[in-house]
A and B are shown apart, each in its own frame.
Chain A
């Protein structure tokens, strides 16, 4: 199987070739499925979200020319999956995403969205800046947990450390984030 690089896949999108979806699926299908599954915890919903994400990519490329393609398609998958997660009121809140979100929630004051004029984009920029202050391992661990919604076990395996060690390190990073946001005027 030929593994096309991102430029070739995007070129196929520009040519409006249906092979673009096939190649995209071959290269990033498993990553996208994992991101979605961590949020939705339901195979049928996952499949639906992945297909919607591919359709989203088909409709946005062109004019978009994403670089890197992986982050682009994963972000689409994540957005669609989260929408699905919130829309699906009957779904039990026991996905990895839900647990991860609970962990992160304590970093930010509950009243901030009402009282502060901080926008979502500004908060996102603050988190970006915070990530810059972390060492690489901690940063990747943080992203794996709170963006990819990986389970503690998966992260521990990836880093060849114990579950407990992973939990402790994530906990310390969250505490650093809390202090960082407090310094920036977001009080707990």
Chain B
């Protein structure tokens, strides 16, 4: 009697429970891993975390020291000269470059990087390029077909040279085949006002950078000049400087 009562009582339970029980899909329990996997998985996770940390710090270190490569889409501000006469381009890439063989090459005028770097004054007989210049050179794989429009800061033992001494050194370089141009750029001043300046920039081929003709009296630092908003300066090859006398 008792059994029948229970059976009947259970039989009469609400329809919604029956429907729920038939349609219910339990949550799938996560797979049980073997004991060794349970120990290895956290270990692998730890190693992965350490690797990621090391790689991240390594990248950061390189960027801070100016050797990091820029991100893919934020790099180039290049002026490309007319390629129509590229067939006439000088073929000698081992000897000293001339201003003529630079004429048909791609000219890089800036190469934005997200980090800024401090540099020591170069000692006499030494020269170096700023990190963004080296990053641009790396990006172009040190191609001999690419030129860079760079400012040169020249230092003697007494500090940065200027005036007649600077003009004389520019002239020496010009005589050695380096091309110089007058370039206008602007800087912010006051409340966002643009102030125009002009600078003398040198167009270097990769070969000229690699085999820079150093005067042992001076140290040289080469870098890009950009406008106040980091945009590239406008390059006009008609503003070539023929003499510094």
Q: Which residues of A contact B (CB under 8 A)?
A: 31, 68, 70-72, 74-75, 78-79, 82, 86, 101, 104-105, 107-108, 110, 112-113, 120-121, 123-124, 127-128, 131, 136-137, 139-140, 143-144, 146-148, 158-161
Q: Mark B1-27, 1 if CB is under 8 A from A, else 0.
A: 111111111111111111111101010
Please indicate the chain B residues that have their CB under 8 angstroms from the CB of A79 in the complex: 11
A79 to B8, CA, bound (A): 8
Report whether A86 and B19 are in contact in the complex, using a CB–CB cutoff of 8 Å: no
- In chain A, what residue has the closest Cβ to B8? A120
Please indicate the chain B residues that have their CB under 8 angstroms from the CB of A70 in the complex: 18-19, 22
Please indicate the chain B residues that have their CB under 8 angstroms from the CB of A113 in the complex: 1-2, 5
Please indicate the chain A residues that have their CB under 8 angstroms from the CB of B120 in the complex: none
Q: Does B189 reach chain A (CB closer than 8 Å)?
A: no
Partner of A72, one of B14, B15, B29: B15
A139 → chain B closest CB, angstroms:
7
Report whether A159 and B26 are in contact in the complex, using a CB–CB cutoff of 8 Å: yes
Report whether B18 and A143 are in contact in the complex, using a CB–CB cutoff of 8 Å: yes
- In chain B, what residue has the closest Cβ to A98? B3
- In chain B, what residue has the closest Cβ to A79? B11
Please indicate the chain A residues that have their CB under 8 angstroms from the CB of B6 in the complex: 101, 104-105, 107-108, 123
Q: Does B28 reach chain A (CB closer than 8 Å)?
A: yes
A104 to B5, CA, bound (A): 11
Partner of A143, one of B8, B12, B13, B28: B13
Partner of B11, one of A31, A78, A86, A110: A78
Report whether B11 and A101 are in contact in the complex, using a CB–CB cutoff of 8 Å: no
Report whether B17 and A75 are in contact in the complex, using a CB–CB cutoff of 8 Å: no
Please indicate the chain B residues that have their CB under 8 angstroms from the CB of A101 in the complex: 3, 6-7
Given A82-B11, A128-B14, 11 more A-B residue pairs with CB atoms under 8 Å apart are: A31-B22, A71-B15, A71-B22, A72-B15, A82-B7, A101-B7, A107-B6, A124-B11, A136-B20, A139-B17, A144-B21
B28 → chain A closest CB, angstroms:
6
A160 to B29, CA, bound (A): 6
Report whether A147 and B24 are in contact in the complex, using a CB–CB cutoff of 8 Å: no
- In chain B, what residue has the closest Cβ to A111? B2
- Chain B residues touching A, majority SS: helix
Name B71-86 residues within 8 Å CB distance of A. none
- Chain A residues touching B, majority SS: helix
Partner of B26, one of A72, A108, A140, A143: A140
A139 to B175, CA, bound (A): 95
Please indicate the chain B residues that have their CB under 8 angstroms from the CB of A139 in the complex: 17, 20-21
A178 → chain B closest CB, angstroms:
12
B84 → chain A closest CB, angstroms:
71
Please indicate the chain B residues that have their CB under 8 angstroms from the CB of A127 in the complex: 9-10, 13
Report whether A110 and B2 are in contact in the complex, using a CB–CB cutoff of 8 Å: yes
Report whether A147 and B18 are in contact in the complex, using a CB–CB cutoff of 8 Å: yes
Partner of A160, one of B1, B3, B22, B28: B28
A22 to B167, CA, bound (A): 104
A82 to B19, CA, bound (A): 20
Please indicate the chain B residues that have their CB under 8 angstroms from the CB of A123 in the complex: 5-6, 9
A9 to B123, CA, bound (A): 95
Report whether B11 and A71 are in contact in the complex, using a CB–CB cutoff of 8 Å: no
Report whether B10 and A86 are in contact in the complex, using a CB–CB cutoff of 8 Å: no
A68 to B7, CA, bound (A): 22
Please indicate the chain A residues that have their CB under 8 angstroms from the CB of B28 in the complex: 160
B8 → chain A closest CB, angstroms:
5
- In chain B, what residue has the closest Cβ to A69? B19
A139 to B5, CA, bound (A): 21
Partner of A120, one of B5, B17, B18, B22: B5
Which 3 A-B residue pairs are closest in the complex by CB-CB distance? A143-B21, A124-B12, A123-B9
A161 to B29, CA, bound (A): 8
Report whether A105 and B15 are in contact in the complex, using a CB–CB cutoff of 8 Å: no
A120 to B29, CA, bound (A): 38
Please indicate the chain B residues that have their CB under 8 angstroms from the CB of A71 in the complex: 15-16, 18-19, 22
A123 to B1, CA, bound (A): 14
